[in-house]
Structure 1
Amino acid sequence: MPEIRFQIQWPDGTQEICYSPSLVVKDYFTPNQSYSLDEFVTRSRIALMIASDRVKAKYGMPCSLALNQLDKINHQAQQYQGESLSLEVKVIHFIEF
């Protein structure tokens, strides 16, 4: 399966490189575009669950790396709870190997 990474910028300016075991994230994110925090988390959940399901269909078990990435995104997003409603996450670019 082709894997991909995508670089994001959190509302506080910190950047992170996220992992997906599938190119499906390209269907949910556009490079150089910002998403509201809630929309980013929702899109991440959908894309990474689809990616994990694709791994499960091929190898018989879900992708722990994709599920761990989703947990990490959820945890980081919770750090911004109670802050301004206009928080955004920017998808900077995709990193393909």
Structure 2
Amino acid sequence: MPVTYLHVRWSDQREARYYSPSSIVTEHFEAGVVYALPEFLARARRALSEASERVARKYGYACSAAQDQSKAIERDARRFAGQPDASVEILGFSR
């Protein structure tokens, strides 16, 4: 399971990098695409949940780091509450 980082640019132009214990994030996002915030959050939740499940299948325990990153994304998204046009651009991935 290759560790993969998701690089994003929030609609306020801040950039961030989020950790995934699995490359599954590359199946949920496409580099260069701008996602509306609700869609981005739904995809991030699914991707990180699946990543954590992959770790559990392989090692017998869920990945707390994936869960922490999901919480970090949710926390970072809160600054856009009430902004219906908020979006997130996928800048790319790294390992």
TM-score (normalizing by structure 2) = 0.96
User: How many residue pairs were aligned?
Assistant: 95
| Aligned residue runs from structure 1 range 80-95, under 5 A | 80-83=80-83, 85-95=84-94
How big is each residue's C-alpha offset from its partner over 1:27-86, in whole Å with a ceiling of 9 and x where there is no partner? 110001110000000000000000000001111111011100000001111121112x11
Q: Which 5+ residue runs of structure 2 have no aligned equivalent?
A: none
Distance 1:4 1:82 in 2: 31
Once the two structures are TM-superposed, the CA of residue 7 in structure 1 deviates from its matched residue by 0.6
Once the two structures are TM-superposed, the CA of residue 12 in structure 1 deviates from its matched residue by 0.6
List structure 1 runs of 4+ shifted beyond 2 angstroms: none
Over aligned residue pairs, what C-alpha RMSD do you find?
0.8
Distance 1:62 1:10 in 2: 28
- Amino acid aligned to 2:63: C
TM-score (normalizing by structure 1) = 0.94
In structure 1, the residue matched to 2:21 is: 21
Distance 2:91 2:32 in 1: 5
Could you tell me the percent identity over the aligned residues?
A: 36
Q: Which 5+ residue runs of structure 1 have no aligned equivalent?
A: none
